[in-house]
Amino acid sequence: MNALMNTYARFPLTLVRGQGSRVWDDAENCYLDFISGIAVDTLGHAHPKMTQALSAQAATMLHCSNLFHIPKQQQLAATLCADSGLGAAFFCNSGAEANEAAIKLARKYFYDQGSSRRTVISATRSFHGRLLSTLTATGQDKVKVGFDPLPPGFIHVPLNDLDALKSVINQQSAAILLEPLQGEGGVNIADAAYLQGVRKLCDEHGLLLMFDEVQTGIGRCGTMFAFEQAGVKPDILTLAKGLGGGVPIGAMLATDAVAASFGPGTHGSTFGGNPLSCTAALTVLEVIEEESLLANVKARGEQLMQGLKAIQARFPVIKEVRGQGLLIGAELSVEAAPLIAQAREAGLLVLSAGPNVLRLLPPLNVSEAEVDEALVTLATVMERTQ
């Protein structure tokens, strides 16, 4: 009897261990992992430096609560702020919690100014989490069914449509919340010119610009943060997934002026930023630098992109290949699920981003040979399917 609630459509696979970019099931079958825990396993599986750091921290202190100063939490905050150009950080446990904190901070910021601005504008096809507020901010109706009444104060407009965005800005608008690259919504890229235009609109109208980089942040797109590629800096930034390399942690960063609206009692998280999760995040950031993983993401991302385009030339079932770094989607003219199953049978784990987009999310330290192996497997699957 399965005592778990039926909240996930699970693959028919039981994974029991991993090493690098590979995982093994309970029958000792080996798979090349191009899911990475849905963009979480930044350093792959069982990275020796991560294993050592977590073991040492577990032997020292797992948790002490935010009633006390936590040196590694302060170190992580300083590192993330230096890397992002923002002023202060708040730590929690997930991307949904980070986005919840961002929405609360934006509203509190305008409350402190004596303003009635509360509305958050986000994009259709976006995904911001499964809390009631972040669910409502999400631009996909399918995830909202059965959870009404949803909280007010959210509007959605199409991505990359600056005119549509302009048309909904009014005196109640507080913030614009965007993913620089929509992962769950289909691997849809926000154009650099669009993001620059959004920044200008926010400055002109006194709105806050919030970037959800839960999936794109921490090197996934080839720069530490995807917003760097547009030359635009947000007022609020959210992170999670790859930040902890497999250990749950979320972060919400903001400029000093905006962050000042959070004081004792305004927000909190029991487990947020505990010694273990901060050790994991610091280790991820250290390894990214020590192993030059941003350069590897760019090189392997280009290899994967070009390889998929070569497969597309042979098999027109692939309509478009798009993405940045190691967050790549292949839009298909058919449903993705059968191809995902065929790839799994052939020893490659990939996932979808909507019904007809294949999504590939290998670890940031994936090798050239492993990318080649994945491409050969996908080509073979395409050939069999054809």
* Residues tagged active-site: 127, 212, 241
- Rounded to whole angstroms, the Cα distance separating 303 from 171 reads 47
How distant, in Å, are the alpha carbons of 68, 181, 184, 204 from that of 216? Answer: 31, 7, 11, 27
Tracing tokens 């298909």 back to the chain, one arrives at 332
CB atoms within 10 A of CB 73: 22
| Tokens of residue 248, six digits | 């749950």
| Tokens of residue 57, six digits | 């921290």
| Tokens of residue 142, six digits | 């399918």
How distant, in Å, are the alpha carbons of 2, 154, 206, 248 from that of 172? Answer: 48, 11, 11, 35
| Tokens of residue 83, six digits | 């890397």
For residue 285, which amino acid is it? L
